[in-house]
Structure 1
Amino acid sequence: MRIAVFTEVFAPKIDGIVTRLTNTVTELSNLGHDVCVIAPGPGPDNYNGIPVFRLPSAPFKPWYPEVRVGMPTFGVNAQINRFRPDIIHAVNPVAAAAWGIVLSRTQKLPLLASYHTALPQYTEDFGLPVLRKPSEAWIRQLHNRADVNLCPSLPMVEEARALGIQRVGLWPKAVDTIKYQSTKYSAAMRERLTGGNPSDPLMLYVGRVSAEKNLLSLRPLLDRLPGVRLAFVGSGPFESELNKAFAGTKTVFTGYLHGEDLAAAFASADVFAFPSLTDTLGNVAFEAMASGTPVVGANAGGIPDIINEGENGFLVNPADTDLFADRINQILTRPDLAASLTAGALASARGRSWRAATITVVDSYQEAAWRSHYRRGTALPAGCELPATA
């Protein structure tokens, strides 16, 4: 199939959605499909040989300057026409990806949309509650034009259905167990993350440093766990506020890490803390598990789809500081529990390859093509046959 992926975010931005997309388009290409990506710029015009058509864009200031709002152009439209997609995949459609939905209708192409982020909730986090209802209506309208909708976790499937989105399925979680594994432990990285005190217990957070990640909930933990050190790996618009809040504590800020450095950071910590209440899956939590690091995460969003209580980590309400601190402390002070949770974390990640998850997405593309065929009388993409029950 020839697949055009319209997205609001893409590399070089770093976040969970981009991680999922870059791995997925790579696997689609490896499986023999032709793929192009349409995304707001700036950035390179290809990713691992996959063409990326960049849209003119402006930062979403002052609320979230890391996110760029893209605008369609005649030039990019011509590039897409030359690509001749068989199907369109709109990722988290709001602006740029919503253009993909318009093209799917005007060109009568099958459409798959994926719902990754609780965007209506973000209107509250950004102090724009008046936009919550309009944003819900807009997202519902866009997604209900799709032949198939996918969500990255079962809680997000339920959330999408509660929002009124129809034809919703699951996009399975995945992790790179070659890149992330316990053997990537590094004494040098441990030294860096602990500020030169590698024998001290180490709690780790990896991800965007932004308000919706609820990172201030980690601050009171340090008062209850005075011997514990904390490392933040990542960057974002909330970084200056976080530096002020954690001033004078045993906290290290590394900024973004990549490649083997990032893998070493995951494998060199004792426990991974993930307090976000809005993450739809929490790829970084899954990467920590693949690295053999137990996770204590918020019992919210997509995190309960990853953590099995007491088997590979713990679920908490981050506002309950006493419980949060107790769970961290148990992992740090009970070697038997830490070993059991590590074994459970490794088992959870085993077999969750990006190839397997991408094959499920290809099946969903075929389902979208079938539904488009029946609803609109459109032609099926090459290699996509009608189901036996047709």
Structure 2
Amino acid sequence: MNSVAVLVELTRNPMSGGQVKCWERFAEAAARLPEELPDGPVPDLTVYFLGERDRVETLSPHVRFVMLRPVLSTAALMSADGAADASDLAPYHHRLATLLPRHDVWHLTHSFAYATTAVRLARAAARRGPRVPRLVASVHTDVPKLTSVYTRYFADRGLPLPGDLLADRTERWLRRRRDRLLNACERVLVPTPAGRAEFAPLLGPHRVSLLRRGTDHDRFHPDPTARARLARRYGLPTDRPLVLFAGRLDASKGLPLLARSLRLLHARGGRAHLVMAGSGAEADAVHRLLGTDATLLGPLPQERLAPVYAGCDVFAFPSRTETCGNVVAEAMASGLAVLLPEGAATTQWLTAPGRDGIVVPDDDPHTWADALSTLVSHPGHLATVRTHAAATARHHHPTWDRVLTEDLLPHWTPVSAYGTTHVRAA
């Protein structure tokens, strides 16, 4: 049985973000696999996360989560603004280093402690030979771009360098670091064709493949009763459309742009109420701007988030930092009309832009206010877009089980005996 270690160097908890949820769904899909596949036994899968304490959570005899305490956690830095999930900035994770040699495939998903430890161990194994682990990687978040946003936040607190200069330097450094780690891998998986085009010049087209994201259609689906329950629970208005934003409430997700566009919509006489699920640095600013026209629900686990989707009308997501944006797929599966920025990776979820979702041509608040108005001020058009969005999700968005089988397992299955693959030099 081939043993696979997936290294997700983010803290796992019920409120964790999309990358953690992605690997939870893949692990659940792996636990549903039969013991034997047409090509042989199913892989033995261990997904490593960060946690407050070392522990193991077993999903099936061949699937488990392992949580390891971080060495140099970013939790204190990030928690102040409800920012991205905490990671580990240590150059080496000794506990992980003792566990990795039991696995045949090491799957990197980030570029900090877990990834640097794996690449360092793999290069040492290559020098010793002949037992060389196979290194695979997948790209889930544009970490350099995300970090540049937070660098600007922290620079505003009195750091000695100008925020823009420090952010640009940090982003360039992190891209070089990420690319060195990816270049050590025999295969890199990206979520979109645009991602393949981005990494092919660096790695070679033959080393870059697609890893789509799945949708849990049992959890996320239209529910005509959800609106009334949502209004009762949170005191939301029932006489106007609800515009949902789910994710980190900060500039990395485009929330300030959305808030300004809703303010313009209201000034023109349009009626809509913003519902925010999440936490972040911009929460107070949005409340000051929109007042009683916005409701903050706070961070929600997925079982509570699903009825929030189903109870709203529009999902507006101006983010350009997503490599995939699974929240868009969840919103469409729940029957929401989605508003997305032109050129963003999130538009991949649409099959007929203009029919199953609205693509906004630029990042100007007036343009976004215009796009919102075409939906919230025209109930018939809104209903049509919502119907098409749900149909696209139902017929075109794959399940997690399908993505696991078609996009992941082929790259985890051994193609030859140990020692015939190699770790690439930095």
The 3 A distance-change label for structure 1 pair 52 and 197 is same
Are residues 1:88 and 2:106 paired? yes
Q: TM-score, normalised by structure 2?
A: 0.79
Return the match for 1:357 from 399, 403, 415: 403
Question: Whole-Å Cα distance in 1 between the matches of residues 398 and 255 of structure 2?
Answer: 28
**Which deviations, in whole Å up to 9, do the C-alpha atoms of 1:20-60 show, x marking residues without a partner?**
11111222233243222233332672345313140324226
Pairwise CA distance, 1:362:
0.6
Contact in 2 for aligned 1:277/1:301 (Cα 8 Å) = yes
Question: Helix, strand or coil for the counterpart of 1:182?
Answer: coil
Are residues 1:366 and 2:413 paired? yes
Instruction: Specify the alignment match of 1:4 in structure 2.
Output: 5
Question: Whole-Å Cα distance in 2 between the matches of residues 85 and 283 of structure 1?
Answer: 29
Contact in 2 for aligned 1:184/1:264 (Cα 8 Å) = no
| CA RMSD, 1 decimal | 2.6
Question: Whole-Å Cα distance in 1 between the matches of residues 246 and 380 of structure 2?
Answer: 25
The 3 A distance-change label for structure 1 pair 257 and 124 is closer
The 3 A distance-change label for structure 1 pair 333 and 239 is closer
Contact in 1 for aligned 2:257/2:364 (Cα 8 Å) = no
Instruction: Specify the alignment match of 1:288 in structure 2.
Output: 331
Question: Helix, strand or coil for the counterpart of 1:225?
Answer: helix
Instruction: Specify the alignment match of 2:231 in structure 1.
Output: 190
- Structure 2: gaps spanning 5 or more residues: 34-41, 126-131, 153-166
Are residues 1:157 and 2:196 paired? yes
Instruction: Specify the alignment match of 2:88 in structure 1.
Output: 69
Contact in 1 for aligned 2:11/2:86 (Cα 8 Å) = no
Question: Whole-Å Cα distance in 1 between the matches of residues 362 and 199 of structure 2?
Answer: 24
**Which deviations, in whole Å up to 9, do the C-alpha atoms of 1:146-186 show, x marking residues without a partner?**
11100122222233336x24411110121100000002741
Instruction: Specify the alignment match of 2:187 in structure 1.
Output: 148
Pairwise CA distance, 1:292:
0.6
Are residues 1:254 and 2:273 paired? no
Instruction: Specify the alignment match of 2:274 in structure 1.
Output: 230
Pairwise CA distance, 1:67:
2.1
- Structure 1: gaps spanning 5 or more residues: 378-390
The 3 A distance-change label for structure 1 pair 159 and 119 is farther
The 3 A distance-change label for structure 1 pair 53 and 260 is closer
Contact in 2 for aligned 1:123/1:129 (Cα 8 Å) = no
- What does 1:323-338 align with in structure 2 at a 5 Å threshold? 323-338=367-382
The 3 A distance-change label for structure 1 pair 210 and 46 is farther
| Matched residue type, 1:207 | G
Question: Helix, strand or coil for the counterpart of 2:148?
Answer: helix
Are residues 1:213 and 2:253 paired? yes
Instruction: Specify the alignment match of 1:168 in structure 2.
Output: 208
Question: Helix, strand or coil for the counterpart of 1:58?
Answer: coil
Question: Helix, strand or coil for the counterpart of 1:112?
Answer: strand
Contact in 2 for aligned 1:45/1:54 (Cα 8 Å) = yes
Instruction: Specify the alignment match of 2:141 in structure 1.
Output: 117
The 3 A distance-change label for structure 1 pair 196 and 210 is closer
Question: Whole-Å Cα distance in 2 between the matches of residues 219 and 62 of structure 1?
Answer: 26
Question: Whole-Å Cα distance in 2 between the matches of residues 279 and 257 of structure 1?
Answer: 20
**Which deviations, in whole Å up to 9, do the C-alpha atoms of 1:325-345 show, x marking residues without a partner?**
222222223344223322321
The 3 A distance-change label for structure 1 pair 133 and 75 is closer
The 3 A distance-change label for structure 1 pair 122 and 58 is same
Question: Whole-Å Cα distance in 1 between the matches of residues 251 and 53 of structure 2?
Answer: 25
Question: Whole-Å Cα distance in 2 between the matches of residues 154 and 196 of structure 1?
Answer: 39
Are residues 1:33 and 2:47 paired? no
The 3 A distance-change label for structure 1 pair 53 and 18 is closer
Are residues 1:271 and 2:326 paired? no
Return the match for 2:363 from 310, 319, 322: 319
The 3 A distance-change label for structure 1 pair 215 and 176 is same
**Which deviations, in whole Å up to 9, do the C-alpha atoms of 1:95-122 show, x marking residues without a partner?**
3222222233334101110112222223
Contact in 2 for aligned 1:156/1:301 (Cα 8 Å) = no
The 3 A distance-change label for structure 1 pair 222 and 133 is closer
Contact in 2 for aligned 1:191/1:198 (Cα 8 Å) = no
The 3 A distance-change label for structure 1 pair 4 and 122 is same
Tell me whether 57-66 or 133-142 shows the greater mean CA deviation.
57-66
Pairwise CA distance, 1:287:
0.2
Question: Helix, strand or coil for the counterpart of 1:106?
Answer: helix
Q: What's the % identity of the aligned pairs? A: 25
Pairwise CA distance, 1:373:
5.7
Q: TM-score, normalised by structure 1?
A: 0.86
Question: Helix, strand or coil for the counterpart of 1:199?
Answer: coil
The 3 A distance-change label for structure 1 pair 208 and 274 is same
Contact in 1 for aligned 2:257/2:363 (Cα 8 Å) = yes
The 3 A distance-change label for structure 1 pair 361 and 54 is same
Pairwise CA distance, 1:5:
1.0
Contact in 2 for aligned 1:233/1:257 (Cα 8 Å) = yes
